[in-house]
Amino acid sequence: METSAFPAELIRRLQEAHHIVALTGAGISAESGIPTFREAQTGLWARYDPQTLASPEALARNPGLVWSWYAWRRSLVRQAAPNAGHRALAAMERLVPRFTLVTQNVDGLHQQAGSRTVIELHGNIMRTVCAAQRHVVTQWAPVPEGEAPTCPYCGSVLRPDVVFFGENLPPQALEAALQAAQTADVMLVIGTSGVVYPAAALPGLAKEHGAWVVEINPQPTPLSDLADTTLRAPAGEALPALVAAAWPRQNT
């Protein structure tokens, strides 16, 4: 992406910002080979709606199926590495007075890229907890295909430590994200379809509190209308170009 493609106002806002907040979604990890939920509905899993797999009801009704789906998603995350978009956000954090990364992703790629202040709104797929008590579990007895392992402490079924559809977000993470949105000078909204709440409310909140909102997404979303600048490009192209344009003398 040409650095001249960016509006001068956007560059000035980035350079003068005291606090930049980035809100990321599955789209930023798409270029690392981790499918978004929409893309994930191909091949083996095409006949399942993610909402019927990533839910407490599904875990109760068919724990083996939910585990197989997460085993597949975990294998994709294990094989993935951060891309240029993740790395550009880690670089940006080192260039501005204050930077907060709020992610809906559960893949840990921002931390792998070197981002330090990361709020995981939807948990982390590589962690395992039990359904009843939220014991964090690192080892469990193997079970036959089609069944789910159980907690060595309380016997309840194990699950990935992610927020299922219909569940509340971790309160501390949500509170920190709300605070960040209210104090942002610029909010970058990257690779999110803007339909999963309460994350999707953060750009509107930031704007109400005076932030300049930038959407980076090849496709329009319900958040596009509130954005002050829209960059219709993949995050892996737009973000490195944006960092180079706003901080040209820095070696990122």
Q: Which of 235, 242, 243, 245 binds ligand NAD (CB under 6 A)?
A: 235
- Residues 76-135 touching ligand NAD, rule: CB under 6 A, are 104-107, 122
Give yes or no for residue 30 binding ligand NAD (CB under 6 A): yes
CB 122 within 8 A of CB 104: yes
Residue 129, SS3? strand
Residue 85 C-beta: closest distance to ligand NAD, Å: 7
51 counts as binding ligand NAD under rule CB under 6 A: no
Token pair recorded at residue 76: 């994709």
Instruction: Give the orientation angle of helix 235-246 with respect to helix 8-16, to 10 degrees.
Output: 70
Identify the burial level of 136 via C-beta atoms within 10 angstroms of its C-beta, where 0-12 means exposed, 13-18 middle and 19 or more buried. Answer: exposed
Q: Select from 11-19, 29-37, 91-99, 135-143 the region that touches ligand NAD (CB under 6 A).
A: 29-37
Q: Take residue 46 and report the two structure tokens written for it.
A: 């095409």
According to the binding rule CB under 6 A, does residue 36 interact with ligand NAD?
Answer: yes
Q: 212 pairs with which residues across the strands?
A: 186
Binding-site string for ligand NAD from residue 138 to residue 167, where x marks contact by CB under 6 A and - marks none? ------------------------------
Residue of 218, 226, 230, 244 that binds ligand NAD (CB under 6 A) = 218
Rule CB under 6 A: choose which of 174, 196, 205, 244 binds ligand NAD.
196
- The answer to whether 232 touches 47, Cβ cutoff 8 Å, is no
DSSP type of residue 168: P
Q: Which residues bind ligand NAD (CB under 6 A)?
A: 25-31, 34, 36-38, 104-107, 122, 190-193, 196, 216-219, 221, 234-236
